[in-house]
Structure 1
Amino acid sequence: MAEIDGFGNLSEISPSDFAKLVKTAPKEVFAQILEDADARTTVLDEVFSRMQQVYKGGKSTNAILHWKILDKPGGGYDLYETVLNGTECTVNKDGEGEPRATISLNGTEFLKLASGNASPPVQFMTGKIKIKGDLGFAAGLASLFNIPKA
């Protein structure tokens, strides 16, 4: 994986060290990474691939989630789909399944959320996260993952 200015080689950074980077990174670093199409894709792909590793799920958890990471360079958003099936989490970019919930937020807020540096309820109440679909299920998502803490 390529080096990302301000973050280094993400594949060599532990989840807790990544959480610390997100917590301490200046806004300019987020802007630089998220406005560069290649760097943005590298960072988002790495974060979503780690979701599979930190998923703790449950036998009865079956859901498809769509994540819309807004403010894509050139317009639009990046779409990631997580499929939770019992104790397994898979991630893809095609978004073909019918989502139980769609979560929309900008890249900076997503990185804060995924690294444990933001409170999902606060993000929702302040309009930084938009949820379409099963709001109750989406509210409990954090309990399904071992989210690193900084």
Structure 2
Amino acid sequence: MASPDPTEIASLEPAAVYASLEQADEREFAALIDDPASHEAVVDALARHMAGTFRSDRAGDLDAVIHVKLWDKPGGGYDHLELVIGGGTCVLADEPTRDPDLTLKVRPIDLRGILTGATGPRRLAMRGKLRVLGDLKLGMRLPELFAFDA
């Protein structure tokens, strides 16, 4: 596969970006996430895909706020995402504003691995590549609540 062009990626819809990310090898993915021209589009695609794999039929009456902090943002720091679960839905917030019940700290390449089903959150946590803070019981339910390989 030819390496996706960062400028092209930035102009695509999130679903199309995610489809490109699924096909990219680790080197290509790293180039896209590290390039300021495509970074925001890649993070948005990962976040929207995660929210879109929510299994409302398995959530019951769950009300929760999950923060995802993606390490290694170009220029330093991290990207901060907020997923709000309630009323059988999972909504990606524009800006994190609520106190989280659960915070996940992970590198973008590892989040992609979780979402594609290439690796599991428990495996990453045991290897120190995923930090889970807050409601660990909720953290253990993530594979039940999200169709990560969808």
TM class by shorter chain equals 0.7 to 0.9
Q: Distance in 1 between matches of 2:21 and 2:109?
A: 13
CA distance 1:87–1:133, change in 2 (3 Å): same
Aligned residues: 143
Which portions of structure 1, spanning 4 or more consecutive aligned residues, are displaced by more than 6 angstroms? none
Q: Is the 8 A contact 1:80 1:94 kept in 2?
A: yes
1:55 equivalenced with 2:54 (yes/no): yes
Shift of 1:141: 0.8
Instruction: State the identity %.
Output: 25
SS in structure 2 at match of 1:60? coil
Q: Deviations over 1:99-140 (max 9, x none)?
A: 011100111111111221111111000000001111121121
Higher relative contact order (CA 8 A, sep 6+): 1
Q: Distance in 2 between matches of 1:12 and 1:100?
A: 28
| Equivalent residue, structure 2, for 1:28 | 27
CA distance 1:11–1:133, change in 2 (3 Å): closer
Q: CA RMSD in A?
A: 2.6
Q: Distance in 1 between matches of 2:98 and 2:50?
A: 18
- The alignment's TM-score, normalised by the length of structure 1, stands at 0.82
Q: How does 1:64-143 map to 2 (within 5 A)?
A: 64-143=65-144
- The alignment's TM-score, normalised by the length of structure 2, stands at 0.82
CA distance 1:134–1:43, change in 2 (3 Å): same
Structure 2, unaligned runs of 5 or more: none
CA distance 1:20–1:76, change in 2 (3 Å): closer
Q: Is the 8 A contact 1:18 1:115 kept in 2?
A: no
Q: Distance in 1 between matches of 2:43 and 2:76?
A: 16
SS in structure 2 at match of 1:140? helix
